[in-house]
Structure 1
Amino acid sequence: MSFYTSLNGMKNAQTDLGVIAHNIANVETNGFKKGSTQFADIVAGSAQTNPRMVKGIGATLEAITQNFALGPIEQTGGALDVAITGDGFFAMKSAESGKTVYTRNGAFGTDENGFITDGGVNRLQIFPTDADGNVTSDTPVDAQVAATNAAGAEFVGVVIGEDGVVSASYADGSVEAVGSIALASFITPTGLKQIGSSNWESTGLSGEAKYGSPGTGQYGSLLSGAVERSNVDIAEELVGLITAQRNFQANAKAIDTATQISQTVINLRT
């Protein structure tokens, strides 16, 4: 039995090493949130077993939990760079599948059709507004900048303000509001499913997304001209790496010891 107990311990240590390695690999990934492993002990006993005689048989992986603590904010000066200084996520809708994903990476750009994107097929979701930036609908839509304004002036540039309003400027000197960024929040963020590229999608554990404007209620404020970096602490991860390595070695040593004891018992017959 001790062989399997120690084997489970080695598998758990290997899983811990994998999670830590993933964290370290993403130390420079914008909007990345580190993960941590949680283990639980396993005991074997029946209703008739004396509670003083219940024996532990090792540990099992209980969960790999994401830590959504705020990462360092880096000032970039980019017109379409924006960071959330609090809770909440940017909502991005795929132009191909129509699926909405959520991210903390606010390094945006524009495509050839004027849509504000994450550099791929996902488009930033905004609330429609009037020309003054007042929200006119609580249903998010794709953020798209018109190539020309009503007067026929050509598009010059676009910026995102700290109030979340996306404003486009044109060659005639006019500035028009395109919309206001729609932030999403979840009742249980740790239930979100990672899908890569600093994106998450909702699950039954996280609940459905609720949308709101920056700086209101449970939605974080925005900081324009900045992006949120990974919240991985490299020193902390290296300490965890050493601990996981020692755990693996200790369980391997336990198997070695059990092997020696078994060999001693077998030799008693000879």
Structure 2
Amino acid sequence: MSFFTSLSGLKGAQSDLAVISNNVANVASIGFKKSRAEFGDLISASPLQSGNIAGQGTRLKSISQQFTQGGFQTSDRALDLAISGQGFFVTKTGAQLSFTRNGAFSIDESRYLVDSNGAYVQVLPVDTSGAVTATGISSSQNLQVPLSAGRPKATTTLDLSATFPSDSDLPASRSAYNATFPYKFDRYDPQSYNYSSATTVYDSAGNPQQATLYYTRVTAPTATDTTSKWEARLFIGDQQASADGSAVTDPPAPLELTFAADGSLTSPTSAQQFSSVLPSGASEPIGINLSYGTTTRQAASTFTPGAFRQDGKAAGQLNNVSVGTDGLISATFSDGTTTKLGKIMIANFANPNGLRQLGDARWGSTGLSGDAIVSEAGSGSAGLIQSGALEQANVDITEELVALISAQRDFSANAKAIETGNNMTQTIINLRT
């Protein structure tokens, strides 16, 4: 009988060694939770049996998970998440839900938020302000990060200002022109204009085009006429728009600006509608209503273009994804807008030790664990989300090595007991009458 009792001890020590070895092997696994082997003694008992009996060995009662929190390892990725407190992330593969503390998330080729196994991370739906609109495990949904936001808008108005030098000369080609050699504007000939300034405008599809204004001095003040006149020619991409609003004028008419002797702008006094043009790369024609602000003047200074203000825009492109401590995922776009995408779903269980291990630091619910209690981070018993961090395994390597030595001693002691029992049996067999 002692042989089988010690044999059960050997098996128990072997199971303990296997559990400890698994803990040590996963010391670097993100979100891993160590296990502990729990044993009980074997007693053969009956209603009329005396209490003075020897046990029959040991048995493995269970291998229980230890869901204590591990340390945090900082990361430079916003989608590396850790739960500070209780709870599990919820992921989904097909119809199968799993629960994990491994928050090494990423974006897949379809822009969905997934874990390291490719399972979809589950979130709670939110409204535009970030408030949760539905709760419960049935409200979980996959999260897809959009590449753009908003609708593009074609530029229709352009407001600007500029300071023109009062001592500027007429451009060389204009001052020298005559009936034989008439003046001709050429945007590629700097001798045909004085200054230029540019900004970006957009067509209805949000495609950008460069709008360039070329300024040419026409007249300077004289003793009889103290006004100054300039011409402004508007090019959108490779096409020139006409200031008279007609698309058939050839060549396109420039806009005439008139300054009084004190440098103030006297004409035009209202917005000027330029003709629509279709530059290369544009999806539809662009027509701009151009106006000069009250700060536009002529003065004894250098040419200084002021601020350009236009009402068009392209669709916002994704700039950044951030996660708050409450699990709210927000996407920021190039047009300055921010979209609330969803809140990370946190699940808790009445009996976490009843969860079924699925591998890769994932667990599945069972009848022993109870149903998942779903909430948002920071509410109830759910912990807070820390972005830019990963939870390390809760394995204390020193503690495990000490336990390893203890299990080895247990194994050796039981082996010695078997050896002793075997020697006693051999002695009895060798007795001679």
Shift in CA distance, 157/112, structure 1 to aligned 2, threshold 3 Å: farther
**Paired residue for 2:427, among 243, 255, 264?**
264
Written as runs of structure 1 = structure 2, the 5 A alignment for 1:145-184 is 145-151=145-151, 152-184=315-347
* Pairing 1:134–2:131 present: yes
What's the counterpart of residue 47 of structure 1? 47
Equivalent position to 1:101, from 98, 103, 125: 98
Structure 1 residue 157, shift from structure 2 partner: 2.7
Q: Which moved more, 1:146-155 or 1:224-233?
A: 146-155
State the shift of 1:185 in Å: 0.5
After TM superposition, which residue ranges in structure 1, 4 or more long, deviate above 2 angstroms?
150-157
In 2, Cα distance between the equivalents of 1:42 and 1:215?
45
Question: Counting helix residues as a fraction of each chain, which structure ranks higher?
Answer: 1
* TM-score computed with the length of structure 1 as normaliser: 0.96
Aligned-partner Cα distance in 1 for 2:390–2:27? 14
Alignment-derived partner of residue 210 in structure 1? 373
For residues 148 and 200 of structure 1, the distance between their equivalents in structure 2, rounded to whole angstroms, comes to 35
Q: Distance in 2 between matches of 1:50 and 1:77?
A: 67
The amino acid of 1:133's aligned partner reads G
2:359 to 181, 196, 200: 196
Which region of structure 1 is more displaced relative to structure 2, 249-258 or 214-223? 214-223
Instruction: Read off the aligned partner of 1:10 and give its amino acid letter.
Output: L
Distance in 2 of aligned mates of 1:253 and 1:167: 64
| Partner Cα separation in structure 2 for residue 46 and residue 61 of structure 1 | 22
**How far does residue 154 in structure 1 lie from its aligned partner after superposition?**
2.5
Q: Which amino acid aligns with 2:333?
A: Y
The amino acid that maps onto 1:259 is N
Percent identity over paired residues: 45
Partner of 1:70: 69
Query: Which range is displaced more, 131-140 or 175-184?
Result: 131-140
Q: How many residue pairs are counted as aligned between the two chains? A: 267
RMSD of Structure 2 on Structure 1 (CA): 1.1
- Matching of residues 115-130 of structure 1 within 5 Å: 115-130=112-127
Q: Deviations over 1:203-251 (max 9, x none)?
A: 1110111110111111111111111100000000000000000000000
Which moves more between the two structures, 125-134 or 251-260? 125-134
CA distance in 1 between counterparts of 2:134 and 2:46 reads 59
Instruction: Tell me whether 42-51 or 256-265 shows the greater mean CA deviation.
Output: 42-51
Letter in 1 for 2:130: G
Measured in 1, the distance between the counterparts of 2:56 and 2:340 equals: 63
Unaligned ranges ≥5, structure 1: none
- Supply the AA of the counterpart residue of 2:101: R
- The Cα shift of 1:113 comes to 1.1
What CA distance in whole angstroms lies between the structure 1 residues aligned with 2:82 and 2:131? Answer: 21
Q: Secondary structure at the match of 1:154?
A: strand
Paired letter, 1:200: W
TM-score by length of 2: 0.60
Q: Structure 2: how far apart are the matches of 1:20 and 1:70? A: 18
Deviation, 1:156, is 2.7
Q: 1:126–1:182: 8 Å Cα contact kept in structure 2?
A: yes
Separation in 1, partners of 2:142, 2:341: 10
Q: Confirm or deny that 1:113 pairs with 2:114.
A: no
C-alpha deviation, 1:46, in angstroms: 1.9
CA contact (8 A) 1:102 1:200 kept: yes
* Structure 1 residue 252 displacement after superposition: 0.3
Whether the 8 Å CA contact 1:157–1:170 is kept in 2: the answer is: yes
State the 1:146 CA deviation: 1.7
In the alignment, which residue of structure 2 is the partner of 1:144?
Answer: 144
Secondary structure of 1:238's counterpart equals helix
Is 1:45–1:55's contact at 8 Å kept on the other side of the alignment? no
Shift of 1:132: 1.7
**What does residue range 213-252 of structure 1 map to in structure 2 within 5 Å?**
213-252=376-415
* Whole-angstrom distance in 1 between the partners of 2:47 and 2:429: 34
Residue matched to 2:3: 3
Deviations 1:77-134 (A, max 9, x none): 311011111100000011xx32110000111100111111113331111111112211
User: 1:60, 1:153 → 2: CA distance?
Assistant: 64
Q: Secondary structure at the match of 2:131?
A: coil
- Tell me how far apart the structure 1 counterparts of residues 384 and 322 of structure 2 sit (CA, whole Å): 16
The farther-off stretch of 54-63 and 117-126 is 117-126
Q: Structure 2: how far apart are the matches of 1:181 and 1:192?
A: 21
SS at match of 1:162: coil
Question: Which amino acid letter does the alignment assign opposite residue 124 of structure 1?
Answer: V
The Cα of 1:145 is off from its aligned counterpart by 1.1
Letter of the aligned partner of 1:132 in structure 2?
A: S
After superposition, residues 50-61 of structure 1 pair within 5 angstroms as 50-51=50-51, 53-61=52-60
1:117, 1:123 within 8 Å by CA — same for their partners in 2? yes
Report the AA paired with residue 130 of structure 1. D
Secondary structure of 1:237's aligned partner: helix
